[in-house]
Amino acid sequence: MNDRNRGIRLIGRRIFLRGAAGVVVGLPLLETFAPRSAGAAAPSFRYAVFMRQANGVQQGRYQMEPDRFWPTKLGALTADGMKADGDQAVNVLADYAAKLLVVRGCQYNSVKVDAGCGHSQGGLLCLTASHADGKNIEKALAVGESIDNRIVRELQQPGDEPLTLRSGVRSSYLDDVLSYRGPRDRRTAEGNPYNAYKALFGIPGGMASSEQQNALKRKSVNDFIRNEMSSLLSNSKLSKQDRYRLEQHQQAIRDLEVTMSCSLPGDMLGPLSKVTNQQSTSDDAVVTITHMQMDVIALALSCGKTHAVTLQIGNGNDQTQYTIDGTKYERFHHISHRINSDGDTGSAIANADMKHHQIDKLFAGMFKYLLDRLSAYTTPTGTLLDDGASIWLNDLSNGPPHSTDNVPYVIAGGCGGFLKQGVYLDVGDATKNKWVPHNRFLSTIGAAVGCKNAAGTPLDDFGDPSLAKGLLTTIMA
């Protein structure tokens, strides 16, 4: 019987007991189970979250529009500096300046086959660094796996899947675009956060009854893990000192009576349980649903449920009508074209560039909510945010002309010190239109989480074999 079946889960250097109702309790470091050789300690829990925005950002249109997205200067980022830097979209994240890595200079390379549409191409390239299987906009698929799949395939059990979520309207045109199990095998994302919660934490058929919920609240965390703890304490290999540590740990939990369960608190779970599938695809609820999905994401990561998450907001060419400051905007895709059309001709949308900018800031605010939730969970080395890499990305670089040069990446969290933080970098040379293929960015994120290449060294060859390989060392600490 393996550790997983015994209810003991190893994450980093700590031992976790998984008991009834999904409760997970971290135990003190036990000498009995410590590595016997120097330097043999298991790596800490690492993860990557990819939050996707569509339609590019308002970063200028061949000098015809001013840039309102990037920080105004390359180099170190500080909270005070970002707050004094004006109305740039990324400055919404000023409170997290010390934990941010803002990266410009990457490019989606269209290799071999063009999907026939920038949105289709960007969506299937975004996390695969692959290419399309044909020039059929709506039906084109990537011919490689996505980086979230690679991470889970390497770091988790056979058959495990990444957490694949979305929010916003569904569409018959370019709906799910991000996550691929392999060539031509694209996942459908879960749009209802309560369905995702139930699937992750095993709530059969919906909410427990009121009596069951009250009974759960009356129980101590120790009650939920009693069988697993008893089994561990009866282990003949356990030293006297470790037995003492465990008994003291149990007493500390009982004294504090904190809720250390893998479940959301009632004030979050109540509204979550009432979300219908229809509500989860409403324009008016997109921010609320996104926040709920992020609540589920943070909880799932804190419980070690997955090493990789994707969150797609809106369909492939996001047609959401976002409401900002009480005003419901035109469809985001139309705004990104600057005209009331999905094509090249149509009536102009007044102040479309500023509306695009306001939507960028809305996305920055949603990303900040994710960072707030990840920061709410503490670990032995800091917060859950520090243990991984949370990435706000786009499947295009700008509104018009929907190019794939200079696609934006905003990363929060250093993945345990692997990635630089508190800095804005140009990894290419924007002044000379020199760009770095984004497969190197994806390889670096995979390496940060713990993926390896065929030789057993950090992943450096993700994506289409025709693309230049290597890690993006300029973003590594």
What is the SS3 string spanning the chain? Answer: CCCCCCCEEEECCEEEEECHHHCEEEECCCHHHCCCCCCCCCCCCCCEEEEEECCCECCCCCCCCCCCCCCCCCEECCHHHHHCCCCCHHHHHHHHHHHEEEEEEEECCCCCCCCCCHHHHHHHHHCCCCCECCCCCCCCCECCCCHHHHHHHHHCCCCCCCEEEEECCCCCCCCCCCCEEECCEECCCECCHHHHHHHHHCCCCCCCCHHHHHHHHHCCHHHHCHHHHHHHHCCCCCCHHHHHHHHHHHHHHHHHCCCCCCCCCHHHHHHHHCCCCCHHHCHHHHHHHHHHHHHHHHHHHHCCCCCEEEEEECCCCCCCCCEECCEECCCHHHHHHCECCCCCCCCECCCHHHHHHHHHHHHHHHHHHHHHHHHCCEECCEEHHHHCEEEEEECCCECCCCCCEEEEEEEECCCCCCECCCEEEECCEHHHCECEECHHHHHHHHHHHCCECCCCCECCCCCCCCCCCCCCHHHEC
pLDDT of residue 26: 58
First to last CA, the chain: 40
User: How is the beta sheet containing 8-11 ordered, strand by strand?
Assistant: 8-11, 14-18, 24-27
pTM for the structure as a whole? 0.82
pLDDT (0 to 100) of residue 221: 53
Kindly provide the b/e burial profile for residues 150-165, where b requires at least 16 CB atoms within 10 angstroms of the residue's own CB.
Answer: bbbbebbeeeeebbbb
CA distance 415 to 292: 24
Which pLDDT tens digits describe the chain residue by residue (477 residues)?
333 333 333 333 345 555 555 555 556 555 555 544 444 444 578 999 999 999 999 998 766 899 999 999 999 999 999 999 999 999 999 999 999 999 999 999 766 788 889 999 999 999 999 999 988 888 999 999 999 999 999 999 999 999 999 999 999 889 999 999 999 999 999 999 999 999 998 864 444 444 444 444 444 555 656 677 777 777 778 787 777 777 776 666 654 433 346 889 888 999 999 999 999 999 999 999 999 999 999 999 999 999 999 999 999 999 999 999 999 999 999 999 999 999 889 999 999 999 999 999 999 999 999 999 999 998 888 999 999 999 999 999 999 888 899 999 999 999 999 999 999 999 998 777 789 999 999 999 999 999 999 999 999 999 999 998 999 999 999
Distance set, CA 213 to CA 210, 224, 254, 300 (Å): 5, 14, 19, 20
CATH topology of domain 43-192+275-475: Alkaline Phosphatase, subunit A (3.40.720)
Q: What pLDDT is recorded for position 137?
A: 87
- What are the C-alpha distances in Å from 190 to residues 305, 309, 385, 393, 439? 16, 12, 23, 19, 26
The residues facing 389 across adjacent strands are 48
Cα–Cα distance list, 59 to 1, 55, 62, 94, 392 (Å): 55, 12, 9, 18, 15
What is the per-residue pLDDT for 216?
42
- Structural domain boundaries in the chain: 1-40+213-263, 43-192+275-475
Q: Look at residue 222 in the predicted model and tell me its pLDDT.
A: 57
